Structure 1
Amino acid sequence: MTSTRAARAREKENEVIALRLEGFDFDTIARKVGYRDRSGAWKAYQNALVRQGNDDETFEDAIRLELARLDALQASIFDAAQRGDLAAHDRVLKIMKHRDRLKGYAVAPRSRRGDSDQDDNDNVVVGPHKLDELRAKVRSERAGQ
């Protein structure tokens, strides 16, 4: 029964990704997919991005789209941040943190209970194992050059 529930959750996450790529907002996505409100759709979207497969082009497209949106947001407030607007500084840093998370660069600190894949304070979902994978990838790319 749990595997059926998990399979349905993944189907819904895939629907959310597809609708987001079509440009729908999270309120509309929630109605179309069957979530109570936009937060359910947003959480499904985040979960789908986190579990992305490198061989799955749909997720790669979604991440590229989100990165482009983050770039546009950052560009819109970057001048204010450079002029010393502290609120703009904070926003730029949050955007950068979100971009790093999507790219897989953000790493959750180790929790008291051991390795954690999620930091409740910052919603960082990439654990230390991902950092090790990235380091290995960089080493192999450098060796190939």
Structure 2
Amino acid sequence: MGASPRQRMSAVERRIQALQLHLAGVDYRTIAKQVGYADGAAAQKGIDRAIEESIARGEEDTDTRTREVMRYNRLQAAHWGKAVKGDTKASDVVLKCMQGRERLLGLAAPKRINIDAQQLGDEILAILGEVAADDEQGAAP
């Protein structure tokens, strides 16, 4: 006989809680103790199943990058209140989370390299002149 709807809901809630702890960076053994799994391996299986279920429901892609972005989001959310009230340490954490997300998602504008256009043009013309001279020498009898 299968699990009752109440037991299934409890298992789903446990998997979701385990996934949230995992996203927060908690290790499998600690997750197992907090959520009620037999051991770290069982917690990992529960987390994997929660991820599979979220994919089946069409929820957010759970590749490594997405997991890390979600961790930054959770960490930022935990420090946001203190940061906006002026806590400098919390503000540093929030800014680092924002920078980490920016880096992972490729949101930073490309860095510009300042090149003197005239100098570059002169160098290109000099190279083209050398190539043309080499071609003329090779064509002469």
TM-score, normalisation: structure 2: 0.40
- Which structure has the bigger radius of gyration? 2
Q: Which has the higher helix share?
A: 2
TM-score, normalisation: structure 1: 0.39
